[in-house]
A and B are shown apart, each in its own frame.
Chain A
Amino acid sequence: MTIWWLILILASIGSIGIGFIWLAVRIGSTSKKTENDYSAEEAADRDVEHLFDATFREELRNRGRLHFEKIIGESAMFLQQDLRLTTSQLNDYMKSEITAKLQAELSNYEQSIMDAKDLAIESIQKTNSLIDEQRESLTEQVRQEIIQEKQQLILRFETNMADIINHYVMAAVGEQIDLSDQLEYILGEFERNKDAIIEDLNHGI
């Protein structure tokens, strides 16, 4: 579209120029014809010399100048109108082109932003899923360790339960239990181990 507008403008300018050239040739041929006919009409001319004196020629020259100026003025006006029209069209064209370019660039920019946003969102989602997986893994690991620790504690408690309970009983009621109170228990224990003790004493003796 730009080229067509440019060709149109150039054609306008060219036609205006051709108009000027044609006008100059026309004026020149008129004056030349006067000179060519001079030999034939030389006598008449000399006779009518006094009719076309300097004043009349000056007047004709002034009239021609005025006419030429008028034509020049009209042509300039047309040219100015064409230039204004062309300028406004150029402005519109430039506006539309720039707008289209800007819109295209903006849309590209928006698309880039959207792509970057999608990438960022995807990356964040991946990171979130990774964090969730790690959290679940960590939670499971901690749970397993807690269970293991609990089992170890229970095992340790069961292993040392007798000591723990003995310690607790003695700390709680140890001062209230006199040896005299324990005599029955001690004799019972002796009774249970009597044979082993006698056997060992007999070996010793």
Chain B
Amino acid sequence: MASEPAPAQPPRKISLPVSVVTPSDVGRLVHELEVLENDLIQLRMQKTDNGQPKLAFSKGLERIGELNKFNLSLEADRLTLKDFLVGVRQKAPVLHISFNSEPSPLFLDKLMLWLRREIHPLVLLTIGLQPAIGAGCMVRTTNKYFDLSMRQTFIAKRPLLLEQIIPAANEVLPA
């Protein structure tokens, strides 16, 4: 008796964990999945009576699996995840952000959380360093350049600065 074909399931909504920040991170996950597949093929060829081989995943892969409720022991889930990651690597929007110093992982987590909630759920970042920025950051998208540094804030608030500086200067240097 032939089993009935399973009903077509809607495509799963897959999300990226905040720890996956850069295209390189995505690339590493894809590479890990590929390596994992190769290892599994080898293990199948050397299959013994010990049953199913025990798989070991990296923390990043475990996290994305847990987040999206994938059973990475299943080949279908792994393939789905791999396809998703390859798609992300190829099509996800990438922002290049420059800071004056290396951002901490906690900072990046909070930033990615906001960016994926407000800008795009699959956005990726490349991080640059520009010590001359001071406070704030510079953001470069595909076509635009956003100066989000404190310098730009000072320029925008120049009238306020003048309003504060001129009376102080007049006190110090009377005409």
Answer whether residue B123 sits at the interface, using C-beta atoms and an 8 A cutoff. Answer: yes
A174-B100 Cα distance, complex, nearest whole Å: 10
Size of interface on A: residues with Cβ below 8 Å to B: 31
Cβ–Cβ contact A165 & B95, under 8 A: no
In the complex, what residues of A have CB within 8 A of residue B136's CB? 182, 185-186, 189
User: Chain A binding site: helix, strand, loop or mixed by DSSP?
Assistant: helix
Closest beta carbon of chain B to A59's beta carbon, Å: 131
CB-nearest residue of chain B relative to A185? B136
In the complex, what residues of B have CB within 8 A of residue A205's CB? 91, 93
A179-B118 Cα distance, complex, nearest whole Å: 20
Answer whether residue A193 sits at the interface, using C-beta atoms and an 8 A cutoff. Answer: yes
User: Chain B binding site: helix, strand, loop or mixed by DSSP?
Assistant: mixed
Closest beta carbon of chain B to A61's beta carbon, Å: 127
In the complex, what residues of B have CB within 8 A of residue A162's CB? 151-152, 154-155, 158, 161
Scan residues 117-167 of chain A and give those whose CB is less than 8 A from a CB of chain B.
158, 161-163, 165-167
**Interface size bracket, B side:** 35 or more
Closest beta carbon of chain B to A183's beta carbon, Å: 6
A166 with B141: in contact, given A179-B99, A179-B103, A194-B118 (CB under 8 Å)?
A: no
- Which residues of chain A have a CB within 8 Å of any CB of chain B? 158, 161-163, 165-167, 169-170, 174, 177, 179-180, 182-183, 185-187, 189-191, 193-194, 196-198, 200-201, 203-205
